[in-house]
Amino acid sequence: MFQISPFEIEIIGKLLLSAFLGGILGLERELHKSAAGVKTYSIVTMGSALFTLSAAAIDVSIAGGVITGIGFLGAAVVFRSENRTFGLTTASLIWSTSAIGFAVGIGYYFAAIAATAVIFLILLPIEHLERRYLKNHTDTGSDR
């Protein structure tokens, strides 16, 4: 009979927590019509946690590789049209959700939850303030 060890349950918990935290931020982005949403952020965050768990198992530091790789992914969502640049918030969130997943992977649960909350608190009021006080702000639906 197949038995799951406490260590394996911890791994499942880390992966689920990181995916959930990334999904919270992805939901906010999806509500604002960003190209990357719940699925993207959940997968990036969980994938980062998985990289971290894997590296910890073989005692290899991969933080630099994860940061670099996620940087390339983030760069792919930034584009320029006429006098405007789009995707910067999405790129920074992809990079940050990777860090959240990394934190979950090494067991820094409080830091991961706190970072998710702080990012969420940054995102929610800013759009309202931009619409109210910045005359040149237009909501294109692609990024904030």
Q: For residue range 81-137, what is the model confidence (pLDDT) as tens digits?
A: 777 767 777 887 888 888 898 889 888 899 999 999 988 887 877 777 767 776 554
Pure H helices in 80-108: 88-105
Rounded to whole angstroms, the Cα distance separating 115 from 9 reads 24
**Mean pLDDT (the chain, rounded):** 79
Q: For position 140, what pLDDT does the model report?
A: 47
Query: What pTM, to 2 d.p., does this model score?
Result: 0.64
Helix-, strand-, coil-residue percentages of the chain, each rounded to 5? 70, 5, 25
